[in-house]
């Protein structure tokens, strides 16, 4: 029997490992709200987790160094009057976090560098424009102060948080929007919707530029993310409720580049994408495993690498931006797995013998500087992220105040 030729890839042997118990975060009451968001957001400075709270919505923000048991009286961020549904750290300022809630608002928060000493209840800006609960909040990847929100009113609004104003809105979706992902330069975003369509939208033209009915034939929720080369990676279900993943070229939606059946399970697969390695980590809510794949230009295009398994099912997941990983340990990704009462960091590492900087593992990655201002993006400019070297690791800068010069009709103060 001839030996099959093994595919060459530096990521073939990536392995996952949970950190030691004392480096996790214990006694966190993770939210039980029924909404398929990740409930967790992380950056090189902070870990934020949406938690159970009576009388409104709250989330917990911890400096990454504050591992161990979380005091039950630890101050929370408590501005929302209904359960918090989604949170997202600003890619251009590690102290700025956006949240959205069942109370029909999104809020933007300035988190101080030190641990909170009292509850934080005053956002720098409140964004009011949705008539129903707001389930998705996501920052523009390259333009300063641009934030997108989507609500159960099937409306997408793009805001300038520096002025507190809505810049544009789109009402092309006839049903609940499940997920939204910007492309690499923020010129387009893709959406999945309860009407079973995958759409590519140009927000500045306020139009849907491509769409595909039922990329996955099942009726359960789909997820979609843009890859660095402009393709779209999707997760969903077959008609027989098998979980499935797909890779699509939005300029030719007729046939998938790749379509792969995985298993039979109920949990929606949340994809987390590493643009530098072109790898996707799939985390199913209620699963106790994380599967990871590499996307390449040769068949079968989506290559299964391995699975990290642990005993307890995950309630949510946070994904560290590449500038927050430890290059000295050849760590290429770090995920923060939410369990019922704690958060467990999981490191993904490429085994290497040398202690030197591995420049083939760490191409220059998206840094914290925005590539343009909000007004330039609105006027039609597109810029790729400004890259930084990982050679000496990444040291987060000190907090900068977000100055908001609010338009007449809005509240509060903030510029990144």
Q: Is 12 helix (H, G, I), strand (E, B) or coil?
A: coil
Q: Is 21 helix (H, G, I), strand (E, B) or coil?
A: helix
DSSP 46-105: EEEEEE--SSSEEEEEEETT--EEPPTT---EEEESS-EEEEEE-TT-TTEEEEEETTSE
Neighbouring-strand partners of residue 156: 150, 170
Distance CA 350, CA 362 (A): 11
Distance CA 30, CA 70 (A): 12
Distance CA 91, CA 69 (A): 28
Question: Which of 352, 355, 348, 357 minimizes the C-alpha distance to 393?
Answer: 357
Q: Report the sign of the C-alpha dihedral through residues 26, 27, 33, 39, in that order.
A: negative
Residue 328: CB atoms within 10 A of its CB come to 11
Cα torsion through 384, 388, 391, 395, rounded to 10: -140
Report the Cα–Cα distance between both ends of the chain, in Å, rounded. 62
**Please, are residues 404 and 338 in contact by the beta-carbon 8 Å criterion?**
no
- CA distances for 258 relative to 15, 230, 278, 301, angstroms: 24, 15, 15, 6
Per-residue pLDDT tens, the chain, 416 aa: give them.
444 566 788 999 999 999 999 999 999 999 988 888 899 999 999 999 999 987 779 999 999 999 999 999 999 999 999 999 999 999 999 999 999 999 999 999 999 998 889 999 999 999 999 999 999 999 999 999 999 999 999 999 999 999 999 999 999 999 999 999 999 999 999 999 999 999 999 999 999 999 999 999 999 999 999 999 999 999 999 999 999 999 999 999 999 999 999 998 888 999 999 999 999 999 998 999 999 999 999 999 999 999 999 999 999 999 999 999 999 999 999 999 999 999 999 999 999 988 889 999 999 999 999 999 999 999 999 999 999 999 988 777 777 778 787 765 444 444 44
Based on C-alpha coordinates, what's the Rg of the chain? 20
Q: Give the predicted TM-score (pTM) of the model.
A: 0.94
């Amino acid at each position: 029997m001839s030996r099959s030729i093994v595919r060459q890839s530096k990521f073939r042997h990536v392995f996952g490992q949970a950190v030691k118990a004392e480096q996790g975060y214990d006694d966190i009451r993770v939210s039980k709200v029924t909404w398929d968001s990740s409930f967790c957001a992380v950056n090189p400075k902070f870990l934020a987790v949406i938690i159970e709270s009576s009388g409104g919505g709250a989330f917990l923000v911890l400096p990454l160094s504050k591992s161990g048991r979380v005091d039950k009286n630890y101050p929370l961020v408590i501005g929302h009057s209904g359960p918090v549904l989604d949170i997202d750290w600003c890619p251009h300022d590690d102290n700025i976090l956006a949240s959205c809630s069942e109370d029909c608002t999104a809020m933007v928060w300035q988190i101080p560098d030190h641990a909170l000493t009292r509850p934080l209840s005053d956002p720098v800006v409140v964004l009011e424009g949705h008539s129903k609960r707001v389930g998705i909040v996501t920052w523009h990847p390259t333009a300063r102060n641009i934030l997108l929100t989507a609500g159960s009113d099937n409306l997408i609004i793009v805001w300038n948080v520096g002025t507190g104003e809505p810049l544009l809105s789109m009402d092309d979706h006839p049903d609940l929007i499940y997920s939204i992902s910007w492309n690499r330069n923020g010129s387009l975003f893709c959406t999945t919707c309860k009407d079973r369509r995958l759409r590519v939208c140009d927000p500045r033209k306020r139009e849907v530029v491509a769409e595909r009915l039922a990329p996955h034939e099942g009726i359960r929720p789909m997820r979609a993310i843009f890859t660095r080369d402009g393709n779209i990676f999707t997760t969903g279900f077959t008609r027989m409720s098998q979980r499935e993943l797909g890779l699509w070229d939005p300029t030719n939606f007729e046939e998938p580049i790749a379509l792969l059946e995985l298993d039979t399970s109920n949990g929606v697969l949340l994809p987390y994408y590493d643009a530098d390695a072109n790898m996707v980590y799939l985390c199913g809510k209620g699963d106790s495993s994380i599967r990871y794949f590499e996307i390449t230009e040769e068949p079968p295009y989506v290559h299964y690498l391995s699975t990290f398994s642990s005993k307890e099912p995950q309630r949510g997941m946070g994904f560290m931006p590449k500038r927050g990983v430890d290059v000295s340990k050849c760590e290429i990704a770090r995920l923060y797995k939410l369990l019922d009462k704690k958060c467990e960091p999981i490191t993904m590492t490429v085994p290497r013998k040398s202690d030197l900087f591995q420049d083939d593992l760490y191409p220059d990655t998206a840094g914290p500087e925005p590539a343009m201002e909000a007004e330039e993006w609105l006027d039609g400019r597109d810029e790729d992220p400004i890259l930084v070297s990982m050679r000496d690791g990444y040291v987060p800068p000190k907090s900068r105040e977000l100055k908001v010069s609010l338009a007449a009709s809005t509240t509060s103060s903030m510029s990144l």
